[in-house]
Homo-oligomer: A and B are copies of this chain.
Amino acid sequence: MTTHRFTPTTWHNVLGTVPPALRIADGDTVITQTIDAAGYDKDGTARWPGPNPMNGPIFVSGAEQGDALVVEIIRLTPIRTTGWTRQVLAANVVDPERVRDLPPREKADWIIDTDALTARLKEPVAGLEHFVLPLDPMIGCFGVAPSLGQAFSTATSAENGGNMDYRGFRPGTTAYFPVEVPGALFFLGDCHAIQGDGEIVGTGVETAMEVEIRLSVLKGHKPNWPRGEDAEAIFTVGNARPLEQALQHATTEMFDWLTSAYGLSPVAASHLLGQVVRYEIGNVFDPAYTVVCKIEKKWLPKA
């Protein structure tokens, strides 16, 4: 297996069927540096307009419609000592009549300590003097080209992944995307140093990151929605509005996973989900919201 160092010179604001920037073999590893959601690189230089410029796409040999693209997130290393957030709650996460009272959603600067692996606000804020956050790096936006020649803005997400802004996409997690086009055409970018559930200010701590991932092909196992796993759990991801529909997609996908790969009957899958399921909210800010349906591996029958 080869490790590729991939240094893009152009970026993309859609996930779609565009010419590959890199071709790799099934199972290869890629190391690449991402620019932030607004297109600024590790030196603070503007490289590409937002939203969420993507590195890629990467063509993975052998990937064909009907397969799953397996993305092992090996490492996420912050490579800039600054980050930024929006400093006020997004309008859609508070009671509508209360939006009138919110201050403007200006940008706030953060200091990232790449040795101590912490982040803090650059300007002191009363009451948050000790608000020094341990980093929890994550990929905000990644996925593959969608079906039928569609191309989706990197502001949103769908069956093919995209801007899911789920903090569980961190080192140690493996993601599975549905391959719809030859080579899968994998994109990634928009990494966050840390982020709360729901991305409710509209950002995590946005920064530049060095990413190491391994891409491989699982023949004939195309999921309907992104799936993932880490040491503890398996999970499925629904991307849609309203929030209930994102939950329906994630739950249906987990139900399908349990009844196919794990051989459970609909009743057995329901019992398991009913008493031990955990839901997480990826984002409630982007055009499509993201809900994650999770089952700890200890409850699973042997697949």
Contact = CB atoms under 8 A, between A and B. Distances in A.
A127 interface: yes
Interface string A273-299: 111111111001000010000000001
Q: Chain A interface residue count: which class?
A: 35 or more
Interface in A238-279: 240-245, 247-249, 251-252, 255, 262-279
A9 interface: no
A116 interface: no
Interface string A91-131: 11111111111111000100000000000010001111001
Nearest to A249: B95
| Residue of A98, A127, A245 contacting most chain B CB atoms (<10 Å) | A127
Copies of chain A in the complex: 4
Given A91-B99, A241-B245, A274 B196 contact: yes
B264 A88 contact: no
Given A198-B279, A243-B242, A266-B103, A149 B16 contact: yes
A14 B274 CA distance: 26
A65 to B, nearest CB: 14
Nearest to A195: B275
Contacts of A46: none
A87 interface: yes
